[in-house]
Amino acid sequence: MTSATLNSFITQSEALALIDFAIAQSQADGVFVSLDACEKALSRFSENQISQNVRKNTFSLTITSYFGKRSATASTTQLDRDAIALTVKRAEDLATIAPEDPEWVELLPEQTYSSRIPAFDPPTATLSPLKKGQIIQQVCSLSQDAAVNGSGTLSFSADLYAIGNSAGLRSCDRSTEADFSYTARIDNGSSWNRCTAWSIEQLPIMELTKKVIERAIASRNPQVVQPDDYTVVFEPSAFASLLPWVIWNLDARAADEGRSFMSLRDDSGKPIGSKVGDRLFSPMVQIQRNSAHPLLQGGRFFGNGLPNEELNIIRDGIPQTLAYSRYWAKEKSQEATGVMSPIVMAGSDKTVADLVASTERGIFVSRAWYVRYVNPRTLEVTGMTRDGTFLIENGKISYPIKNLRFNQCLPEMLNNIVGVSRVKRCGGSVIPGCKVENFHFSSITDSI
């Protein structure tokens, strides 16, 4: 494979040395330092030809200084030690005049992190523009041969993130990610899909391209189906646009303050706790936070230094825990969890085609987009289908239909899951395809 070089990419030992230097310069009561270095490259194509090719390196060192409960943050994009020393001084000057933080928590002490090594793939980190161009040329050739208009992106990133503080905390991880997104349009038909992996070699680019082209051709001349409640089979990438909304809202403070679908209330409506431990969803819903999943192999810690350890979020349809910030955990005498990410939902050995075959009448959704809140407290959202929506009849894809707007309470959606497929990595999550009963479509849209 033809490679580019990473001469400007900082090493882990260099990153930790810069953090040590910044901490040594501090005159504050406490200091927290984070360093983020990233090399990104993206090639964009449209109308079956490359239209953009960019590559950039970024570096940022961020310093938060503490004097009692007062704190302030300053950052620099320069590596030299004089610039770092000036940034430390700037953070300290600002901290002395900052108001006290009523939700201040002490610096996190030294942590024990997993001994595993996050995935860092050198061929991905050094993928050359020439190699990317050759891959896109093959995609465009497939598009041209099928007489579709192909567009999309092929990108990769190599990231390094390091943290440290004056209480002894230190850690550094690096990772790679490759991503391919493709849209095919022909006449009034279209389709889309995306794949993400930690290695460029893991991306099924040509397979995905062929499937998207086939679906775009099949989606032409859509017919009208009246909005109603339907059984819906979601592609993993479509369900990945809905599931995170539920996980994001599993927040302990919001539940305790009565602002969440997880809030438990008395007869007067006063919040009295949460619904953790109650069966709220289908027993098929099994969700973890698992950065070590083979498809992810991501970082071992969060930005504030808390370990990113495996955590059961929903088991057999029952929420097991909520997300506790360090402040709210202290207030409620609980253990801080860190955020509920990355999301890993368990699947099965079935294919999405198997879910379709088990459906007498329903709708197949390739993509859900423009999802927005209707009611944050009940977690009702609205959004639209796009890029290939089909009617299912007698276990088969029958014909394409015009896109539909949905208004759906997402906790009810998870309770109505009756089937799951094999999992797929969708961005930073691992999601199966899902079969959902009684999914509510409210109107027809003109989107394609």
354 and 392 both lie in a single domain = yes
374 and 447 both lie in a single domain = yes
24 and 169 both lie in a single domain = yes
- Among 160, 190, 212, the domain-final residue is 212
What is the residue range of 179's domain? 12-212
Signed CA dihedral, 116, 121, 126, 128: sign only = negative
418 and 380 both lie in a single domain = yes
170 and 282 both lie in a single domain = no
- Among 166, 184, 212, the domain-final residue is 212
- Among 161, 185, 212, the domain-final residue is 212
311 and 344 both lie in a single domain = yes
6 assigned to some structural domain: no
137 and 285 both lie in a single domain = no
206 and 236 both lie in a single domain = no
Distance CA 126, CA 3 (A): 5
pLDDT by residue for the chain (448 residues), tens only, comes to 344 444 457 999 999 999 999 999 999 999 999 999 999 999 999 999 999 999 999 999 999 999 999 999 999 999 899 999 999 999 999 999 999 999 999 999 999 999 999 999 999 999 999 999 999 999 999 999 999 999 999 999 999 999 999 999 999 999 999 999 999 999 999 999 999 999 999 999 999 999 999 999 999 999 999 999 999 999 999 999 999 999 999 999 999 999 999 999 998 889 999 999 999 999 999 999 999 999 999 999 999 999 999 999 999 999 999 999 999 999 999 999 999 999 999 999 999 999 999 999 999 999 999 999 999 999 999 999 999 999 999 999 999 999 999 999 999 999 999 999 999 999 999 999 999 999 999 999 987 6
268 assigned to some structural domain: no
For the record, the structure tokens of 43 come out as 């090639």
For the record, the structure tokens of 51 come out as 């239209």
β partners of residue 161: 36, 173
Residues 247, 313 contacting (CB under 8 angstroms): yes
Q: What is the CATH number of the domain that holds 136?
A: 3.30.2290.10
157 and 291 both lie in a single domain = no
3 assigned to some structural domain: no
170 assigned to some structural domain: yes
16 assigned to some structural domain: yes
149 and 205 both lie in a single domain = yes
246 and 121 both lie in a single domain = no
Check residue 6 and give its pLDDT: 47
332 assigned to some structural domain: no
- How many domains does one find in the chain? 2
265 assigned to some structural domain: no
Check residue 278 and give its pLDDT: 97
Check residue 8 and give its pLDDT: 57
110 assigned to some structural domain: yes
349 and 300 both lie in a single domain = yes
